[in-house]
Structure 1
């Protein structure tokens, strides 16, 4: 399966904002966006001209893709699914992205970043409703229970997780049992609860061209 293997800090610099892809590093002075607030590459420091309407739409799509770690073909598939659903297409798209298992693991506080959550899921450390799931794109639904596998709880990353999670906040659409390293999806998030600076209407306009 294809995946991005380059520097994730370059992705943040290209979008001009923190996408929080490096976990704790993003909150320190080592963050690449804070140190080099310009696009990567030899022409990154050139003064930017006026961005076209298409350019604005493209940047919003790329920002969403990179935030959630989704490749182009998969993102397009999500958009078509969002367009089929009732309601506002842009909000449906964000709800689908938020419902990915790797994102839910991140939102529940079991990982410090989405890339880390994706890796932990791939390695089979989580169950959904008691069954092991190692597919990061798995769509979690309301009332699903996501938990760290019993066999994984004594391993390095999870030994002190309960203590670490006490210092972290969680979203209102999930309920987390920190002691038992489990969480329940109460409902799909509303647009106001998705704290991603994305203008989703521009993505809809891009795919409607």
Structure 2
């Protein structure tokens, strides 16, 4: 299944806030909707929605998410927490969390177009896994810096997670440590995602 390129509002209406996909909130899109009678959800549907929430927030294909679940299963520690750590430490997500991009798709575009340096080397792979002490900067090109400045200016000030440090004047971010999965930017029941895939594979 390819990466989702359809209407984003439709997804946040169904799944709730997805800050990585769009800065809009479900309230912005559902004002005109008439209240409908809530239907009881099956356990399968609950697990599916949690999986979809994770997938659309981080902008992954089905195959990519399944690959991350398999890696998390082999790692030490609870599979759900390891899964969130793997996704949070992606370069595109790290740029989003630093405020250097307003959404994860925009962060991915910055990386693909070679605007980003990691430890003074160009990295054009959005799934690059950031490590402690990695230094993330914009290239010293007016266009690269202008794109990041626009994101910093347009995004409302937000508290940075404690595993990251930002120096906006130098367009520089620092990864201090591996993120604690409890501080992930998405309210999600990761155990349900693991259960969904345990029943699919």
TM-score, normalising length from structure 1?
0.84
Partner of residue 81 from structure 1, selected from 71, 75, 78: 71
Structure 1 residues 93 and 128, CA, compared in 2 at 3 Å: closer, same or farther? same
User: Which runs of 5 or more structure 2 residues have no equivalent in the other structure?
Assistant: none
Equivalent residue, structure 2, for 1:177: 167
For 1:170 and 1:201, the matched residues in 2 are separated by: 25
For 1:7 and 1:154, the matched residues in 2 are separated by: 27
Partner of residue 44 from structure 2, selected from 42, 46, 54: 54
Contact map agreement 1:147 1:181 (CA 8 A) in 2: yes
Equivalent residue, structure 1, for 2:18: 19
Where do residues 1-209 of structure 1 align in structure 2 (5 Å cutoff)? 2-15=2-15, 17-20=16-19, 21-23=21-23, 26=24, 31-32=28-29, 34-35=30-31, 47-152=37-142, 156-159=146-149, 167-209=157-199
User: Which runs of 5 or more structure 1 residues have no equivalent in the other structure?
Assistant: 39-44
* Count of residue pairs the alignment pairs up: 198
TM-score, normalising length from structure 2?
0.87
Which is bigger in relative contact order (C-alpha 8 A, separation at least 6)? 2
CA RMSD of aligned residues (A): 2.5
